[in-house]
Amino acid sequence: MHPFSFIPAATSEAAIQAVATNTQASFFAGGTTLIDLMKLDVLAPTHLVDINRLPLSEITASSDKITVGANVRNSDLAHHPAIHRHFPVLSEALLAGASAQLRNMATTAGNLLQRTRCSYFRDPVSRCNKRDPASGCDAISGVNRSHAVLGASEHCISTHPSDMCVALVMLDATIQTLLPNGQSRTLPIAGFHLLPGTTPHLETILQHGELITHIHLPITGVTANSHYLKVRDRASYEFALASAAVALSIVDGTISEARVALGGIATRPWRSPEAEAALVNQPASRSTFLAAANAALAAAQPQRHNAFKIDLARRTLVHALEQLTKGGN
Amino acid sequence: MAEHSTAVPAASLQIRVNGAQLSLHLDPRTTLLDALREHLGLYGTKKGCDQGQCGACTVHVNGRRILSCLSLAVAHQHDEITTIEGLPHNGALHPMQQAFLEFDGFQCGYCTPGQIMSAVALLTEAAGQPLSPAEIRENMSGNICRCGAYPNIVEAIQHVQEHS
């Protein structure tokens, strides 16, 4: 690990100034991604600005939304009664991720900024356009079983690793930040994560020094009936090969409203308006779910080793919808 | 972990470990795991993968289980740390330690301190709600045992759950 200065921040403004004035400085919260990547020499910030003591650990509920502080730990968010009640999909997604120890450490904002598990990104000897812009991509010609089938480019095929973010894109979360100029802004999660395109090193629309302070979750009827299903190589403590976050409103057997997002198969948390359109005004039946799954994966492009993920993602989505409509998930 | 240089001045840290108030001066790169082992001589907490994938380094911070290998020591100013050495009370093993012995919850023993720290925290998290074997396995999935002592680990945890 390269040397760094550790700077505890007493206020959000002080934290932002400490990071904004130094291109090599980084906010430090749970550390579960950052310390891991610093040990691997993938990241080498010269200054870590500790935001753990900032008063950003509250979960508050109003009539129309739940507001989650940036520093709320994944375990606390997953077990909060208001999350259980309004957004079961979010609780299930959080508890499907990592381990109990890591969930006690990892924060909500940190999870939004989680880095890919692509083994070529994590290995500084490999070529990686995300880690080292314009160096090339060894994953495209390498072992790419776990890589993306949606949203990839010829510059990057890495998957977004977060379970929580799949639920958040389905929930239409908004992200509140503080900018170095003192302004606040609110960002819809739909445009928060960037597709790799020609610039895979740019992962979000955040500016350097911009601090996430809160995540807002709008309360809706449809998201109270929601579910997250994750499929992986082992039963627990593993990243997704495919996952689905789903929510349905059903009136007299017909789907009146639908939300679908997919994880483990795309370069960013993947909302699927195509699947949602295939579900709405249709009977809540297996044939409808199959049509939605085909629509969701219609644009999928396999790499050499990951074609199986296209069918796996379809089946994961169908199964998630069946579990949600049959109950007992 | 190779520490290439000490170009950055040491950071001072006030911390409570197993009830003792301590003052440390550390390179900011020092993980909580290395601070416990290399600076405080508490070798019970084990370094397995050192990258958050095995759970051997599990300790409690302010009563919650975390991975000390992915945690910077300097981020724990004034925190209360409990390691496996802090579990016995008045010379008697903690009930979870005793149960791991009685139910043969280990073979080589390397993962055991992490397993026990995780198991103690699990029963605190459960707050008296009975956990099924499946729930115990899921909530202990962050602690890998390469000897495969899992069935006996689950039995040991069930025993403590039923007798506390």
Q: What's the pLDDT at A329?
A: 47
pLDDT over 70 (residue B129) = yes
- What pLDDT band is residue A235 in, cutting at 50, 70 and 90? very high
A8–B58 CB contact, under 8 Å: no
- The answer to whether the Cα torsion of A111, A112, A113, A118 is positive or negative is positive
B164 confidence band (pLDDT: 50, 70, 90): confident
Mean pLDDT of B4-19: 82
Average pLDDT for B17-41? 97
Mutate to test the interface with A, among B32, B53, B59, B141 (most CBs of A within 10 A): B141
Q: How much is the pLDDT for A179?
A: 98
Question: Is residue B90 within 8 angstroms of chain A, CB to CB?
Answer: no
The stretch A250-260 carries a mean pLDDT of: 98
In 3D space, the residue among A296, A231, A238 whose CA is nearest the CA of residue A270 turns out to be A296
Is the distance from CB of A71 to CB of A109 less than 8 angstroms?
A: yes
Burial label, A264 (beta-carbon count in 10 A; 0-12, 13-18, 19+): buried
- pLDDT above 70 (res B46): yes
Which is nearest to B114 in space by CA: B138, B87, B92? Answer: B87
Average pLDDT (A226-236) is: 97
Interchain contact, B72 vs A31, CB within 8 Å: yes
Q: What residue segments make up the domains of chain A, in order of their start?
A: 5-50, 226-326
DSSP code for B144: -
Query: Which chain A residues are within 8 Å of B138, Cβ to Cβ?
Result: 235-236
* Sequence ranges of chain B with CATH classification 3.10.20.30: 11-86
Cβ-nearest to A5 among B8, B71, B141: B8
Side-chain-side CA neighbours of residue A124 (13 Å): 9
Read off the pLDDT of each residue in B12-36 and give the average, rounded to a whole number. Answer: 97
Report chain A's mean pLDDT, rounded to a whole number.
Answer: 97
Query: What topology is assigned to A226-326 in CATH?
Result: Enolase-like; domain 1 (3.30.390)
Residue B5 pLDDT class (50, 70, 90 cuts):
low
Contacts of residue A101 in chain B, CB cutoff 8 Å? 55, 58, 65-67, 118, 142
pLDDT value at A252 more than 80: yes
CB A1 within 8 A of CB A38: yes
Interface touch A32/B52, C-beta < 8 Å: yes
- Residue B47 to residue B28: CA distance in whole angstroms: 19
Mean pLDDT in chain B? Answer: 95
Which listed CATH number (1.10.150.120, 2.60.40.1250, 1.10.10.10, 3.90.1150.10) goes with B95-162? 1.10.150.120
Taking CA–CA distances from A105, the nearest residue in chain B reads: B66
pLDDT of B79 over the 90 cut: yes
CATH number of A5-50: 3.30.43.10
Q: What is the mean pLDDT of residues B2-9?
A: 58
Q: Tell me the pLDDT tens digit for each residue of A176-203.
A: 999 999 999 999 999 999 999 999 999 9
What percentage of chain A has pLDDT greater than the value 90?
99
What does the pLDDT read at residue B7?
62
Substitution target from B66, B68, B131 for chain A, most A beta carbons within 10 A: B66
Indicate whether A94 pLDDT > 60: yes
Q: Which residues of A touch B1 (CB under 8 A)?
A: 1, 39
Indicate the burial class of B20 (C-beta count within 10 angstroms; 0-12, 13-18, 19 or more): exposed
Higher-confidence position of B4 and A143: A143
Q: Is A39 on the interface with B (CB under 8 A)?
A: yes
Residue A192: per-residue pLDDT = 98
CB contact under 8 A, B51 and A2: no
Architecture of the CATH domain B11-86 = Roll (3.10)
pLDDT at B4 over 70: no
Three-state SS annotation for chain A: CCCCEEEECCCHHHHHHHHHCCCCEEEECCCCCHHHHHHCCCCCCCEEEECCCCCCCCEEECCCEEEEECCCEHHHHHCCHHHHHHCHHHHHHHHHCCCHHHHHHCEHHHHHCCCCCCCCCCCCCCCCCCCCCCCCCCCCCCCCCCCCCECCECCECCCCCCCHHHHHHHCCCEEEEECCCCCEEEEEHHHCECCCCCCCCCCECCCCCCEEEEEEEECCHHHHCEEEEEECCCCCCCCCCEEEEEEEEEECCEEEEEEEEEECCECCCEECHHHHHHHCCCECCHHHHHHHHHHHCCCCCCCCCCCHHHHHHHHHHHHHHHHHHHCCC
* pLDDT at residue A221 is higher than 60: yes
Contact B142 A102 (CB under 8 A): yes
**Residues in chain A within 8 Å Cβ distance of B142:** 98-102, 237
Give ranges for CATH 1.10.150.120 in chain B: 95-162
pLDDT at A130 over 60: yes
Count CB atoms within 10 A of the CB of residue B59: 30
Average pLDDT, integer, range A23-52: 98
The H or E element that residue B112 is part of is helix B112-126
Residues A310, A313, A314: CA angle, nearest 5 degrees:
90
> Does pLDDT of A328 surpass 70?
no
Site from B70, B77, B129, B139 to mutate, A interface, most A CB atoms within 10 angstroms: B70
| A window 121-140, beta carbon within 8 A of B | none
B77·A35 Cβ contact <8 A: no
